[in-house]
Structure 1
């Protein structure tokens, strides 16, 4: 575990502004866009060069289109594509996914100044600026626009590495990587590919490192039948690099005074760069044992701990049109909403008479994750989830309709937290819209209460009423809900059939998502998952009994949220292996003791308020031993242990075989006490897996959420 000071962070672009007010890169001594007309050049080179207008006019309703870009820069190409996409009637029910890489991202201030040059795009640029990731954040960031109809997936870092993350391929041998991509991808049902490439970026003469053979290999790996390319340059480095990996290219007239530009496409028989496999159909006829292709000793050392257990062994390229989601809490409703946004019909099956009655049924929940300057996997996921959740609830108006974007204070209640929180704030010191470090006096200005401590402040976060949220999520026209249905049996026979305890058939669909917390263990397919439940009790107090008004969420050892329906919600207790569903006065006392520590204004609250006068709610949180949620395909336990049995004897053995999974059976579980924060990103991840879309997080980080991770770890420790 390393701190942010010792970990690589994205270096921001160093920008100057010329006499015409145009941005110029100091790193590469080159302009970001044409001094004549950057927008018109973007449309000519990339939109017309890839014939996007004509291709988009022929799209099938409900389909998608993926664009890949080298060099996000100011985002001008993305905005131009988004504008055209929105203005075509044929794209109304389709999804545009724009994937771009950028080694030196613009700061939010520079991005705003650059895009101000294009007032005709302000509708789109304002949305981009509002969603733009805090700096410096390396890795993948997925931004959602137009109710999920437009996705922007950014990778801040090296271009070739970024496209490796999009492809979800491993660092093993070249043939193994190709076969993995041919057989299946980390994306559950089918591997996504780029339909059109915008090969942008600074001129090859000024940025030769980006235009490498490795980059062209990654572009090829992410391309499919008749993928097109367009680029402003005709430099031999680019043209030959594309031709060497199988693209057919030709020069055409360039924009304005530029004499030439380059366009091209990938022929159907050039999809996979493996000498004995020339098409995907042929690849799929091969047996999975092909994945044990010979590797050099050096390659085997490098690929240790990067086995292919997370990949699907039998590809299913049939589109999933209908999915059952078992569980109507935060996990289930978020999953259903994310799937519906990808044009997949969903049936939520809930055993209670209404949604969000169990752990998701509190009056108020805080959009909270434990933030840290460390860049270990859990800290990285927490940060990504926090950013994604706040943007999700804001853009979909859920903060306004189901809660309050009032800001959240993370009190530094001890010296260790003081150090970590202040370091975290320092890391993002140029992004006060995302996070701020506040003194005790400043905390009082924000919360309305005096503070014992300094604090980390997230001004765009807040609280949500989970019940209202689940109701609104489930109102999507592609979502239906069945109540009073306690599912106990899942059976697959061409499609999935779900039945209740009486054996009554309830529903069938192409796929099933198990999202019913620790009740997932009642299904034999998922009973091996190491789920545990923690009892939690929150307390409610009348607003008249509080000495002062609370204006923001305050989190320390406990928490309190601003008033809602004439009550304050505070807590909460944590009881492992405690099944008591009754409200307990002793837990109210514990919550009152936590409350009074949050502020000097609340020091005497436990003496003024009697525990037996308080109302509250008991819920049971579902969690895992490693505190990550569980998101992805459900493993076939016996087959998986057999395929990876060698790990019992040699934990670092290289087994280039895919995992064994139930066809189209997935789960989304174990958020612990961070459901409101984890749910949006986890649901988007799962929807991307099911629909065969590019993932919203890095490939390696996905492994930490993968349901099979516990089984693999237990094999390596010889526990199963």
Structure 2
């Protein structure tokens, strides 16, 4: 199976109807598709009455296609939004995403939706497996797209839907979208009483919904179709144990204290504010971006694995989320990155990766002579970027905050939730996190003239933007309580690295006016960050004590009451930050997870305790 998804070949009827050649079925009928969506799906799910008085409403859909159903729901939401703070969340699945040009052509049939379709086309994702998340806070609308085969992505998603649009191609032409397991997954991801609507009345669909706990009824069809189905979840299934603390319903958190004003804290604050929450930043430094996020420049590029694993997809998801969040912000410059192999083993790894790339040619290609060219990567200037992410957020600096996790208070103020986004300091509050400290030093200078953006990487990296030149960084293990310090040894190590890269400005590194900066990077033993709910350590070990004897974890994880962690980013803080922020904001605001379950489990703090129990070390 190719790591990139297949984009369908589209045939166009004379009236503009798009037809998927492989499926032999239409996406919609030109001139009638929007009316059909409104009749079959919106009215079929009782909308807009169903979201009246609601502050949050989630629609899930099988088969994103052209995005027409999403746009119709968005359009109706704008007309009938229950309040200025209410949010519509739309979750959809697609295994064969349309090319941007085909989607734009298809949606051009509906000029009344042009303002919305233009905004969707502007962020239309490429054929990259994973989860893409977009938000339009001005309208209170979010879109979460699971891009993969539905049999893989559906059971790996986390949310509870208030309504369902079942809209694959017809069951006779696309059996995979109507497989028996699909109805079980729909039931498991529904709130009690959730309606579901579909255009088909096929017997297998009626039986599948009924077996999954839905009451099913035929209704008058639209246009040339005599009948359609309306269903409602009458018998919800028993929930599965929430071992990692990912999906148990929580009270919406409006006032959220965030400890730390680096990229982790700024990203969390930005994502929370987009969802209408009121984040408050606390940091003992004099301002944002003072610790590990405070270098003059940083590089956002993907870390690509040759194998198609959950971790590999997670890293791609995080990179694309960062690129989406930073686009157009101050202190962000797009650039290509030349990544040259360090040795023969890495050369072989690059060759294997390019034989089945996880990113399309618009983002990744081979370098002549070996290596990778990462296109549309980013050079960031934290001193400009972080203030833009924190715009409009209440911020407190200059004193170490007095934190009581048990009462969720900071400096005596009570909050609905607390986020530990303070690097190594998170380990002081929760020592069992086992955070490791790494000293990272970069060196920098100003060249004699401005230059186009430039980046090279091979274990170390070298950046140029304007007159600034920066290279490094070291990553040396130190004691957690170490005060950051620069050293000649680290400067020499960085100099050797940049000489091996040999950028065009190599002479500038021999200037007498070289500055250095060092900071601690919090990392973990498995090199994945800690993002998610903080377990109650002692209660967790007691609840899952049977794991020491080989028993499975089969209960809800005991958690600290609305305490969350966003730390352990290592040297990739600017890559992890936006993805982590969106994950935490969704959890705290009751929105669908903008990530797969396997990704959330891979970064959940609970994994540390589960692993220790399984290995008999806790």
- Under a length normalisation based on structure 2, what TM-score does the superposition of the two structures give? 0.92
Cα distance change, pair 113–629 in 1 and its aligned pair in 2 (3 A): same
Contact between 2:402 and 2:412, CA under 8 Å: does it hold in 1? no
Structure 1 match to 2:421: 515
CA deviation after TM superposition for structure 1 residue 467, in Å: 2.7
Q: Distance in 2 between matches of 1:430 and 1:33?
A: 29
Q: Does 2:269 align with 1:324?
A: no
CA deviation after TM superposition for structure 1 residue 226, in Å: 3.2
Q: Render the CA deviation track for 1:366-394: whole Å, top value 9, x for unaligned.
A: 11342223223332221111111111111
Structure 2 match to 1:301: none
Matches within 5 A, 1:153-172: 153-159=144-150, 161-167=152-158
Matches within 5 A, 1:399-410: 401-410=330-339
* CA root-mean-square deviation: 2.8
Q: Render the CA deviation track for 1:468-496: whole Å, top value 9, x for unaligned.
A: 222222223xx311222313542424xx1
Three-state SS of the structure 1 residue aligned to 2:156 is helix
Contact between 1:531 and 1:623, CA under 8 Å: does it hold in 2? yes
Cα distance change, pair 491–68 in 1 and its aligned pair in 2 (3 A): closer
CA deviation after TM superposition for structure 1 residue 24, in Å: 1.7
Cα distance change, pair 457–241 in 1 and its aligned pair in 2 (3 A): same
Q: Render the CA deviation track for 1:173-194: whole Å, top value 9, x for unaligned.
A: xxxxxxxxxxxxxxxxxxx421
Q: Distance in 2 between matches of 1:393 and 1:153?
A: 18
Cα distance change, pair 40–420 in 1 and its aligned pair in 2 (3 A): farther
Q: Render the CA deviation track for 1:529-553: whole Å, top value 9, x for unaligned.
A: 1101111111121221x7x835332
Equivalenced residue count is 616
- Under a length normalisation based on structure 1, what TM-score does the superposition of the two structures give? 0.79
Cα distance change, pair 65–627 in 1 and its aligned pair in 2 (3 A): same
Cα distance change, pair 497–643 in 1 and its aligned pair in 2 (3 A): same
Structure 2 match to 1:674: 572
Q: Does 2:82 align with 1:86?
A: no
Cα distance change, pair 150–420 in 1 and its aligned pair in 2 (3 A): farther
Structure 2 match to 1:256: 223
For 1:214, which of 181, 194, 198 is the aligned residue?
181
Q: Distance in 2 between matches of 1:633 and 1:142?
A: 21
Contact between 2:300 and 2:574, CA under 8 Å: does it hold in 1? yes
Cα distance change, pair 343–551 in 1 and its aligned pair in 2 (3 A): closer
Three-state SS of the structure 2 residue aligned to 1:697 is coil
Matches within 5 A, 1:226-241: 226-241=193-208
Structure 1 match to 2:38: 43
Cα distance change, pair 639–384 in 1 and its aligned pair in 2 (3 A): same
Three-state SS of the structure 1 residue aligned to 2:197 is strand
- Consecutive unaligned residues in structure 2, runs of 5 or more: none
Q: Does 2:381 align with 1:465?
A: yes
Q: Does 2:436 align with 1:532?
A: yes
Q: Render the CA deviation track for 1:395-441: whole Å, top value 9, x for unaligned.
A: xx32xx122123333333433333433544454599333323333xx
Contact between 2:523 and 2:569, CA under 8 Å: does it hold in 1? yes
Q: Distance in 2 between matches of 1:223 and 1:486?
A: 43
Structure 2 match to 1:187: none
Q: Does 2:554 align with 1:554?
A: no
Cα distance change, pair 642–7 in 1 and its aligned pair in 2 (3 A): farther
Per residue, is there more strand in 1 or in 2? 2
Contact between 1:595 and 1:602, CA under 8 Å: does it hold in 2? no
Structure 2 match to 1:188: none
Structure 2 match to 1:485: 399
Q: Does 2:531 align with 1:631?
A: yes
Cα distance change, pair 429–194 in 1 and its aligned pair in 2 (3 A): closer
Matches within 5 A, 1:17-36: 17-36=12-31
Contact between 2:405 and 2:418, CA under 8 Å: does it hold in 1? no
Contact between 2:521 and 2:569, CA under 8 Å: does it hold in 1? yes
CA deviation after TM superposition for structure 1 residue 33, in Å: 0.9
Cα distance change, pair 212–392 in 1 and its aligned pair in 2 (3 A): same
Contact between 1:86 and 1:92, CA under 8 Å: does it hold in 2? no
- Consecutive unaligned residues in structure 1, runs of 5 or more: 1-5, 168-191, 275-282, 284-290, 292-306, 440-452, 499-504
